[in-house]
Amino acid sequence: MTKSLANTNSIKIIDLFAGIGGIRLGFQNATTRKIECVFSSEWNKYSVQTYQANYGLEVVHGDITQVHEKDVPEHDILLAGFPCQPFSQAGLKKGFEDTRGTLFFDIARILKEKKPKAFLLENVKQLRGHDKGKTLEVILNTLHDIGYKNTHYTLLKARDFGLPQNRERLYIVGFLDESIAFTFPDPTHKKTKVGEILEAYVDDKYTISDKLWAGHKRRKENNKKNGKGFGYRLFNENSEYTSTISARYYKDGSEILIEQKGKNPRKLTPKEAAKLQGFPVDFKIPVSDTQAYQQFGNSVPVTVIEAIAKEMLKHI
């Protein structure tokens, strides 16, 4: 069992599938207490570069499947933004064994071994309906079976928490202590505007070419004729919020293009992508634009994490 930290202000966390540390940052922003990250894991070398540029040159472990659960330090809260994978046997049996061969299994085996007081898991909203709900059912059954009977999940949108982005994600929170009455944070519904994250002066290299702009328009027209609603999305400083930025944003920027007077639209800059996800202006970006777009597209809305963390930390 985790050692009691009742006599200290420090909260020990581990950061799995850490990416560039968005979940960790949300927890650090949520409290004046010391958030001590005692273990982090991320396999992408470019994400590790960004992570270490912002959190110091601490050791970031690579592939979590290669780390034995006994080697993970004691901690209070496990954090993980894990990939959604199909469970080949989902629904055939129940719980822990069904998750073998998936990355959720690595979260489960660490929770089972270390029994932290709480966890926060983040995933795409599609997880809720994945495999007709069986995938989420296996996850919840597994968490219940290893001792986390006090588990809650919900969908939250970034735009409901002050970020001008229509990003909806699934959040799962669990506690070992069954007496804890946890509730997810209420949306702030603070008015948002895309202009809040836009930079005043942007290099022309972010303006898309005539060829790319023509291609975007042609695809949108074809999709419209075929009854598909897909195509580029155009926004300006007065738009309330953008669509969701994805890891593929670097390819053509089609999901979020910014209008420009007298010229083709432009992509967001990496700094704007960071702000769209709630990262601070001084967040260091030591990688190429391509890598930065992938990293922010794969990351989490920090403001939403902060709101969840505040509710969780009331009970830790």
Closest CA to 112 of 130, 127, 100, 122: 100
Does 37 participate in catalysis according to the annotation? no
Q: Find the catalytic residue in 5, 38, 67, 84.
A: 84
Residue written as tokens 């597994």? 142
Q: Is the dihedral of CA 209, 215, 216, 218 positive or negative?
A: positive
Instruction: Give burial (CB, 10 Å; 0-12/13-18/19+) of 125.
Output: middle
Closest CA to 174 of 269, 79, 84: 79
Q: Which residues are 77's β-sheet partners? A: 13, 118
The three-state DSSP-derived secondary structure of 178-213 is CCCCCCCCCCCCCCCCHHHHCCCCCCHHHECCHHHH
75 contacts 39 by C-beta, under 8 angstroms:
yes
242 contacts 296 by C-beta, under 8 angstroms:
no
Instruction: Give burial (CB, 10 Å; 0-12/13-18/19+) of 38.
Output: middle
Catalytic residues, which ones?
A: 84
